[in-house]
Structure 1
């Protein structure tokens, strides 16, 4: 009885402590004169789309522009669902729906509960990697399986009967490695394939990986212990020391099993390869025509360059023809990758034994023929836009567009829709910290673009700042905002490269009303400007390089993000 009483008192003490911490934490969010953003306009203006206008029966690829890498796709009847990697962005695993593979609706994120997915202390390129999505007709259930590098989650799986109505809680799976996907055979049996390290002591070279398969217990949602088997060692030809065999997907066609994987690493040597077997457990024989998709053989200075292609998934289209979705990049004129890895699509010829991406072994073009009978509605009627487009946001709708995302935590933790627009209640956290930030982000989707917003704000101390941030990660970014110094109001532009910050330009300003902030980019050249009267823009500093916003400069796996930023812990102090 005494022990129970001690336990009860300890529990009460702990509860009180947690409540006090919660109250203390909530007080840290500045509720005073918080900045209000309104009338955001993003405009993409890439030359490739001007030079390649669409005909009536065409659509653009990439189908998802900006940082939407590692696509996976599935089909139930006439409904297609596609998911992508999200890393430390929140919510996790963006998901899209289509009836025809051309027109896509954004459904938000699969992992949308911070109690179940919390990347609060991870670098932007940690978090969620390479999801798989599969519909199982035997139990009318969708499965999303993914690797999560946060919170000791590892490989997890979630289920739903209807992806439009949300998903169940994550179920932790007991295996290592990355890039899992799940496959259901005609007899109802389930199998999980994934990338893993070779058996201990058998690694032959740097980048040597294997593909494993497990039997899956559908009743208990777990891989069956002891059923794991290596079905690909190294890649297509181990003697050539292939690197990073990964992103496996199993398919069945005409009684044969096919295993499609990425090979070569997710850079300039990236490719897609395919194997065949009479059993999901192998042995798998590679196609003599591998790779079936790559851009590694072509001149670096080719026009409208698409590169790094691979990490693909296949689906049967509405015209009874196969299509493949895959990641790729569209670098700017200095070969920098600010838009990140995007989701592309190509038709697939599977009339022979092995599938082959049509025009996947020649320089990829920006346009595709639509499946017969489809009407292109991209950018209209609620469908996701592509090509050149303008996105306008006045923050008047109760339901915020899913393109607005948080970093390391939910956007709902710091935003409020008020009469004048979107109010951000700033955290005492700067954009350079590995913590949830009070920043509402939008993906950069073009190499040539402009992004502007109207801002109502008067900082009260040098610790206050609100404005725009252009972010590749916490160590590489630009901060462009309004702050205070010696009771005067300043506008400041700060560049942070590899964790070292420098003030590029600053100017004392007299705010009489709403200020308009703008960032424009033409390839690698970025210009930041402001208008105190909302019309007459003045540049802050000269043209600067977008180099630090590039994946192949800053490292990692994400594309550049543009954010509406507010902080109560500013350290970008004007000169």
Structure 2
């Protein structure tokens, strides 16, 4: 049997949604408070994915300033109809839906329109195009009646005006009494409407549930087989947990596959965030059957029938050393809450990062860019030139989980003006310098190496042979279970005056990320 390795998108890519146009597949995921927002990927075989763009990539399209890193842009859905791509999503503030919007494009690579607000409460919006061309908008919200804590609801979307129209239909309160139902997607198969949802939260009790109806507006009857897919009943040694939030897609040759989120914990905690897994689906008279051979998500799965025999998704290939000389950052790099134009600039000498007042522990836009951690074992290194003028100025590497939980390895000076490298750990909003070592002025090599036990921070002068070991932070410190929120670890480059303005700039000559 020809196989591939899950996840197909490793690292923090939560809440996947997928659509097909001809032989091309397009996938979007949540981005939370990272900018640009809503990464969009393309594939021809469902296994190998290449990022095309971000759906929201222009300044001022959506306000993220002041948000916790796990707020921001949540749970998009991508659909295609009559030559137009649609993405609906929600801006979340304080863990609640604040603004639901739709954007459109004729080319998935962009440009995408500015967000058009929709009169919709709740989160997790989705679109369904029926056979008659009508478009139905679904989402989840707090229940208005006694049916449950949450409910799925529907209105028609007027495609000409991009406005919700007509009456609101309450569709379903979920299969699990007392659980909040979310992530609705609607499909039509053999004349029956299938409403697929998620219940039990996004952690260990996450599950896929379903209801069905003979009419698009209902009434919907719970599929008694629910949950249709979950790992909540599996033991701690199961390699994949938190499975749920699925979206289905049909291949040209009639297969159905689902993309779903899941995490890969180690001893009960995970640092990579929620990743995208691919699961086969069969249709029966009773509805969809997920992972019909095993009933669960596997790390090794059979290839889709459309895939050529040579397909094997490997972990992302180690990139060539990033030297930042191309005038723009690659699509794998993000900033926090907005663009960093003027703060972080690729130049012929390297990546210039201004010593800006905003610290990493704030909810503003710091001089910071980062890429996802995609492997438990990895090594990241950077050569940085920086001369701090004051002890409060610093520049270096960051292992970033959130503004309240991260670690930095930074070049700075002590009170006497002596150059040094400092390891600082920020836990629950409080920063503590845990180690420091003198370093000759000028350039330095900074490194972080990670494995199942922890993250080890090292530094040396480029002309030196030996590394100074600044310490190790246990891996679980950076986990979602410890830090809270919904995101995985990002590895970043930054500079800050920690609340004070600065005039200097750090130059990152190059950056390496290598799987272990």
Q: TM-score, normalised by structure 2?
A: 0.91
CA-CA distance at 1:413 after TM superposition: 4.1
Is residue 17–residue 27 contact of structure 2 (8 Å, CA) maintained in 1?
A: yes
Is residue 64–residue 386 contact of structure 1 (8 Å, CA) maintained in 2?
A: no
Distance 2:38 2:66 in 1: 18
- Change in Cα spacing, 1:159 to 1:124, as seen in structure 2 (3 Å) is same
Further displaced range: 212-221 or 68-77 = 212-221
Distance 2:463 2:448 in 1: 14
Classify the secondary structure of the residue corresponding to 1:542: strand
Is residue 479–residue 494 contact of structure 1 (8 Å, CA) maintained in 2?
A: yes
Is residue 146–residue 156 contact of structure 1 (8 Å, CA) maintained in 2?
A: yes
The answer for the alignment partner of 1:149 in structure 2 is 92
CA-CA distance at 1:388 after TM superposition: 6.2
**1:47-66, aligned counterparts within 5 Å?**
57-66=2-11
- Change in Cα spacing, 1:130 to 1:528, as seen in structure 2 (3 Å) is same
**1:142-541, aligned counterparts within 5 Å?**
142-149=85-92, 154-199=99-144, 202=146, 208-225=149-166, 227-233=167-173, 235-237=174-176, 241-302=177-238, 305-332=239-266, 334-358=267-291, 362=295, 364-372=297-305, 374-375=307-308, 386-387=314-315, 389-392=317-320, 393-485=322-414, 486-511=416-441, 513-533=442-462, 536-541=465-470
CA-CA distance at 1:171 after TM superposition: 0.7
Further displaced range: 447-456 or 346-355 = 346-355
Partner of residue 61 from structure 2, selected from 116, 136, 140? 116
- Higher alpha-carbon Rg: 1
The answer for the alignment partner of 1:41 in structure 2 is none
Coordinate RMSD, CA, aligned: 2.2
Distance 1:483 1:203 in 2: 58
Classify the secondary structure of the residue corresponding to 2:297: coil
Is residue 505–residue 540 contact of structure 1 (8 Å, CA) maintained in 2?
A: no
CA-CA distance at 1:462 after TM superposition: 1.4
CA-CA distance at 1:460 after TM superposition: 1.8
Distance 2:342 2:38 in 1: 19
CA-CA distance at 1:420 after TM superposition: 2.4
Classify the secondary structure of the residue corresponding to 1:186: coil
CA-CA distance at 1:181 after TM superposition: 0.3
Query: Which has the bigger relative contact order, CA under 8 A and spacing at least 6?
Result: 1
Further displaced range: 368-377 or 480-489 = 368-377
Bigger share in helix: 1
CA-to-partner distance for each residue in 1:219-272, whole Å, 9 max, x for gaps?
2111115x1111102x115xxx24121000011111111110011111101011
Distance 2:314 2:51 in 1: 13
Distance 2:299 2:480 in 1: 22
Is residue 293–residue 361 contact of structure 1 (8 Å, CA) maintained in 2?
A: no
Distance 2:316 2:123 in 1: 35
Distance 1:244 1:343 in 2: 22
Moved runs in structure 1, 4+ residues, more than 6 A?
A: 376-379
Distance 2:161 2:107 in 1: 20
Is residue 407–residue 439 contact of structure 1 (8 Å, CA) maintained in 2?
A: yes
Distance 1:189 1:388 in 2: 40
CA-to-partner distance for each residue in 1:20-62, whole Å, 9 max, x for gaps?
xxxxxxxxxxxxxxxxxxxxxxxxxxxxxxxxxxx9x332211
CA-CA distance at 1:361 after TM superposition: 5.8
**1:118-137, aligned counterparts within 5 Å?**
118-137=63-82
Bigger share in strand: 2
Gap runs ≥5 in structure 2 = 501-516
CA-CA distance at 1:508 after TM superposition: 1.6
CA-to-partner distance for each residue in 1:135-185, whole Å, 9 max, x for gaps?
113xx2111000112599600001111111221111111121100001111
Distance 1:213 1:386 in 2: 40
CA-CA distance at 1:377 after TM superposition: 8.0
CA-CA distance at 1:336 after TM superposition: 1.5
Distance 1:545 1:299 in 2: 23
The answer for the alignment partner of 2:25 in structure 1 is 80
Further displaced range: 144-153 or 290-299 = 144-153
- Change in Cα spacing, 1:319 to 1:399, as seen in structure 2 (3 Å) is farther
Is residue 93–residue 131 contact of structure 1 (8 Å, CA) maintained in 2?
A: yes
Count of aligned pairs? 496
Distance 2:237 2:305 in 1: 34
Further displaced range: 187-196 or 542-551 = 542-551
CA-CA distance at 1:363 after TM superposition: 5.2
Distance 1:355 1:395 in 2: 47
Is residue 291–residue 297 contact of structure 2 (8 Å, CA) maintained in 1?
A: no
CA-to-partner distance for each residue in 1:336-364, whole Å, 9 max, x for gaps?
11101111111111144311111586453
Distance 1:345 1:203 in 2: 33
Distance 2:308 2:382 in 1: 33
CA-CA distance at 1:570 after TM superposition: 6.9
